[in-house]
Amino acid sequence: MGKPNFEKKLTIAVIGGGRCSAQEAVLAETVGRELAKRGAILVCGGLTGVMEAACRGAAIESGLTIGILPSDDPTDCNPYVQIPVATGVGYARNIAVVKSAQAVIAIDGDYGTLTEIGFALKSNIPVVGLNTWSLYRNGQEDKSVIKAEDAVDAVEKAISLAKGQKLD
């Protein structure tokens, strides 16, 4: 008889567009691989583009992938999602994607990604950005989205922030 597992696992959300360029797909796949190598669970929106590339990277390194889908059909997910969550609540699932993680990595992305960044920041969940949105409020830059230089840098920053560590 085993012992119950009380520990919550390190979980990082990867967000980005449902369509992406080949270059961004490489970036997302590398992020997925680097997360899996460090034992993090990858949570995402479960669909195509950045989401699929990140899941593919994680799956290659045998990492666990969770896809939180807008539809109510768990088979709508990309083939690298191991645990599909079929929310049935449409793009309200964007909230669940970021709230289920301890940190978020945003890669490129369109307006949907912007809503996820907003929901994460609203809840003080750290967001690390790779070629993504910059925000100005009333003419002043809001530096809450922490810029990363490359995939490894994004993963390392996200994991540090997820663990509550300060960045240098």
Q: Judged by CB, which is closer to its own copies: 138, or 168?
A: 138
**Residues 57, 35: Cα–Cα separation, whole Å:** 9
Among 80, 103, 104, 159, binds its own copies (CB under 8 A): 80
Among 95, 103, 148, 162, binds its own copies (CB under 8 A): 95
Residue ranges with strand state E in 17-113: 41-44, 65-69, 83-86, 103-107
Using CB under 8 A as the criterion, what x/- string covers residues 29-68 for binding its own copies?
------------x-x------------x--xxxx---x-x
Which amino acid is residue 11, in one-letter code? T
3-state secondary structure of 27: helix
**Residues 77, 61: Cα–Cα separation, whole Å:** 19
Determine, following the binding rule CB under 8 A, whether residue 168 of this chain makes contact with its own copies: no
**Per the structure block, which two tokens stand in for 55?**
């899941």
Determine, following the binding rule CB under 8 A, whether residue 26 of this chain makes contact with its own copies: no
**Residues 144, 42: Cα–Cα separation, whole Å:** 22
Residues that bind its own copies (CB under 8 A): 1-6, 8-9, 11, 41, 43, 56, 59-62, 66, 68, 72-75, 79-80, 82-93, 95-96, 99-100, 108, 110-112, 114-115, 117-119, 121-123, 131-139
